[in-house]
Amino acid sequence: MRPEQDAPQRVLDSIRRDIILGRLPPGARVTEVALASRYGVSRIPVREALRALEAEGFVDSRPYAGSTVAAIPLDDAEDLFGVRRVIEATIARRAALRAAAHVAGDAPDTSWWTARRALTDILDDGDRAVASDALGDLPELNIRFHLGVAELSGSASLSALLRQISGKIEWLYAADVDHRGKQSWGEHRLVMAAIDAGNAGEAERLMEDHVASSQRGYLERFAAGPVPGPGAGPAAGITGTDAAGRG
Amino acid sequence: MRPEQDAPQRVLDSIRRDIILGRLPPGARVTEVALASRYGVSRIPVREALRALEAEGFVDSRPYAGSTVAAIPLDDAEDLFGVRRVIEATIARRAALRAAAHVAGDAPDTSWWTARRALTDILDDGDRAVASDALGDLPELNIRFHLGVAELSGSASLSALLRQISGKIEWLYAADVDHRGKQSWGEHRLVMAAIDAGNAGEAERLMEDHVASSQRGYLERFAAGPVPGPGAGPAAGITGTDAAGRG
DNA sequence: CGGATGGAGATTGAATACAATCGCCGCTAC
DNA sequence: GTAGCGGCGATTGTATTCAATCTCCATCCG
């Protein structure tokens, strides 16, 4: 079996996705051999992925006792949105500043153009999804847009922080996708325009409003009875050799 | 050799410390075998530690090309402080709310008392350090105080975020410890008092001022010629079998 | 009949071994 | 003299293997 060259990354993304989408419910035991056989690799890449997930707060581990899926951070929802607002607004401001520097001709950076082009594609894909009422594609595109802007900001530190927070918030939304759907998506072009114009203040303000609006949508939905969610009971995990998340 | 039960954690902390303190300068190559022999373990724990460090943004890795120490995020300094202000203020507010719930008798949580007692010890140790002019101990105690308050807040998500940001900021300060020394340390007791009183608004405000003040100290120091630092050249790394950070 | 205790099975922690890939150095050709 | 190229050493990626520890369940004792 040839080395997949980034099997750990693939395994990491897959497990995290299974957790976020509720295919691995909170409390479920995740054993290394089960995951290894599920993804067709040995335990080593799985171990690395599990350790990363532990650092990200998606699983709890105890020495020799294995790992379980962590509890969904329901109590942190409001604060997570608050932190995310600040981070995203900062990112938008810096992205605008960097865009301005680029049109001015300074900083001849090819990676910047790559990131900018990727955003164009994401925006177009999202518009098509909205036009064809394929709203199921929007959550994924939404994440990619925001991470794309982070890329454009040029700050690895802020990108990493946003990535961590986004995962948690995505988890909160859980399988409850399309939180505001069309309207929310439309706001992305406004943010992008401000960035392209190099208008740092406007980009910062628009992004903050956008995130705040997303937060309101979440709170309205879950204020009363928070998240019926898939996390029914601390069991039903994968334990056998081929049972992972086939629900 | 018996399993150390958390060798990866120890290795992770050690390497991160070496990076933050400049013993492993930016650009230095860090090979698995060198680290393994330095810490007396095999490559497996080292791999897990390196992957965690990559997620934290301290090293850059490419498949089959190995890992190098990342560049110090100098350009992110101001924004990192901004995000940290929000996170710490939120943490302080929640810690106060939780303290209020505890004196009220709700939530009989033994781990809370453990965390609270640890903070008492940290504050006392810091006072002793100040009294005996052992200011070299303050940076370490400073980090522990802030992480201790995060623990008290009861939010694993916010704790993880703070941990990540603190590492970066500590890196910025680099070997330049005792940034404001005695005065900064004294502010900790004010924050702690507000938390113990269950005064959420006051705790939030005091913590934000405290972090903002720390930021001013940093900017004043490094505004002109940012960080002479140990990152002289992209070389001098550890490559041999026993050369790690013996500088 | 309830709770402690011992052992078997399962699972993780770590080391060793091997395959795949990269980077460097000398060589060749122009 | 310099640019392209092939081989070799070094390093990473992964699998296999064994030791240490935990969990669960049946058993025994009070």
- Of residues A31 and B109, which shows the higher confidence score? A31
B229 lies in a domain?
Answer: no
Contacts of B161 in chain A (CB under 8 A): 83, 161, 164-165
**Same domain, yes or no: B53 and B133:** no
- Closest nucleotide to A4's CA, by C1' atom? D13
Give the chain A residue nearest B153 (alpha carbons): A76
Residue B144 (CA) to nucleotide C5 (C1'), in angstroms, measures 42
What is the spatial distance between Cα A138 and Cα A48, in angstroms, rounded to a whole number? 30
Q: How many CB atoms lie within 10 A of CB A178?
A: 15
Classify residue B239: in a domain, yes or no.
Answer: no
Question: Which pLDDT band holds residue A176 (cuts at 50, 70, 90)?
Answer: low
Contacts of A163 in chain B (CB under 8 A): none
Within-domain flag for B243: no
- The answer to whether residues B33 and B85 belong to one domain is no
**Signed CA dihedral, B47, B52, B55, B58: sign only:** negative
Clarify whether residues A204 and A85 are in a common domain: yes
Per-position DSSP letters for chain B, written without gaps between them: ----SSHHHHHHHHHHHHHHTTSS-TT-EE-HHHHHHHHTS-HHHHHHHHHHHHHHTSEEEETTTEEEEPPP-GGGHHHHHHHHHHHHHHHHHHHHHHHHHHHTT-S--HHHHHHHHHHHHHHHHHHHHHHTT-GGGHHHHHHHHHHHHHHHHT-HHHHHHHHHHHHHHHHHHTT---SSTHHHHHHHHHHHHHHHTT-HHHHHHHHHHHHHHHHHHHHHHHSSS----S--SS---B-SSS-TT--
- Residue A130 Cα to chain centre, angstroms: 20
CATH of the domain at A215: 1.20.120.530
CB pairs under 8 A between A and B: 93
- Which residues are A133's β-sheet partners? none
Q: How many residues does chain A have?
A: 247
Categorize the per-residue pLDDT at A122 as very low, low, confident or very high, splitting at 50, 70 and 90.
very high
From A70, A72, A4, select the one nearest A36 (Cα to Cα).
A4
pLDDT value, residue A62 = 87
Which of A74, A58, A71 lies closest to B55 in space, CA to CA?
A: A58
**Is the separation of the CB atoms in B72 and B171 below 8 Å?**
yes
Residues B149 and B174 in one domain: yes
Q: Are A34 and A80 within one domain?
A: no
Residues B171 and B205 in one domain: yes
Nearest-angstrom CA–CA distance, B165 and A241: 39
Residues of chain A with Cβ-Cβ distance to B94 below 8 Å are 79
Considering only CA atoms, which residue is closest to the C1' of nucleotide D12?
A: B64
Residue A85 sits in the same domain as residue A113: yes
Q: Is residue A40 part of a domain?
A: yes
Taking CB atoms and an 8 Å limit, are A155 and B70 in contact across chains? no
Q: Of all protein residues, which has its CA closest to the C1' atom of C12?
A: A64
Using the CB atoms, write b or e for B150-183: b if 16+ within 10 Å.
bbbbbbbbbbbbbebbbbbbbbbbbeebeebbee
At what angle are helices B200-222 and B182-196 packed, to 10 degrees?
A: 160
Report the domain count for chain B: 2
Q: What is the mean pLDDT of residues A29-53?
A: 88
Chain A hits for B70, Cβ within 8 Å:
156
Q: What pLDDT score was predicted for residue B114? A: 87
Q: Of A36, A53, A69, which marks where a domain is finished? A: A69
- Strand C close to A47 by CB, under 7 A: yes
**How close does chain B come to A112, measured CA to CA in Å?**
17
Does residue A43 reach within 7 angstroms of strand D, measured from its CB? Answer: yes
Residue A27 lies in a domain: yes
Look at residue A181 in the predicted model and tell me its pLDDT.
63
Angle of helix B77-103 relative to helix B156-173, nearest 10 degrees? 140
pLDDT at B93: 97
CB atoms within 10 A of CB B200: 19
Does residue A31 register a pLDDT over 70? yes
Question: Based on the number of CB atoms within 10 Å of its own CB, is A190 exposed (0-12), middle (13-18) or buried (19 or more)?
Answer: middle
Beta-bridge mates of residue B66? B62
Does any domain span residue A173? yes
DSSP calls for B187-240: HHHHHHHHHHTT-HHHHHHHHHHHHHHHHHHHHHHHSSS----S--SS---B-S
How are strands ordered across the β-sheet holding B59-62? B29-30, B66-69, B59-62
- Both B106 and B182 in one domain: the answer is yes
Which CA distances in Å does B5 have to A225, B52, B122? 41, 17, 27
Could you tell me the distance in Å between the CA of residue B96 and the C1' of nucleotide C30? 78
**Span CA (B68) to C1' (D10), Å:** 16
Residues A42-78 pLDDT 10s: 888 898 888 888 888 899 988 888 899 999 898 899 9
pLDDT at position B105: 66
| Of A39 and B219, more confident | A39
A61 & A108 share domain: no
- B83 and B197 inside one domain: yes
Asked if B157 reaches chain A (Cβ–Cβ under 8 Å), the answer is yes
Q: Would you give the end-to-end CA distance of chain B in angstroms?
A: 29
Which of these three, B51, B69, B87, is where a domain ends?
B69
Q: Are residues A91 and A199 in the same domain?
A: yes
Contact B171, B162 (CB under 8 A): no
Q: Note whether residue B127 is domain-resident.
A: yes
In the prediction, which pLDDT does B180 show? 63
What pLDDT is recorded for position B243? 33
What is the reported pLDDT for B108? Answer: 59
Strand C contacts in B 61-120 (CB under 7 A):
62-65
pLDDT tens for residues A152-166?
999 999 999 999 999
* Mutate: best of A76, A91, A163, partner B, most B CBs <10 A: A76
Instruction: For residue A22, give its domain range.
Output: 7-69
- Which CATH number does the domain housing residue B22 bear? 1.10.10.10
Tens-binned pLDDT, residue by residue, of chain B (247 aa) = 444 456 778 888 889 988 988 888 888 999 999 998 888 888 988 988 898 888 888 999 888 888 999 998 988 999 999 999 999 999 999 999 999 988 776 655 778 888 999 999 999 999 999 999 888 888 889 899 999 999 999 999 999 999 999 999 989 876 454 456 677 888 999 999 999 999 999 999 999 999 988 888 777 766 544 443 333 333 333 333 333 333 2
B166 belongs to a structural domain = yes
Is the distance from CB of B112 to CB of B150 less than 8 angstroms? no
B39 and B101 both lie in a single domain:
no
Q: Is A94 on the interface with B (CB under 8 A)?
A: yes
Last residue of a domain, one of B36, B51, B69: B69
CB-CB: which of B55, B64, B155 is closest to A55? Answer: B55
Q: Compute CA distances A92 → A17, A119, A140, B74, whole Å.
A: 26, 13, 20, 19
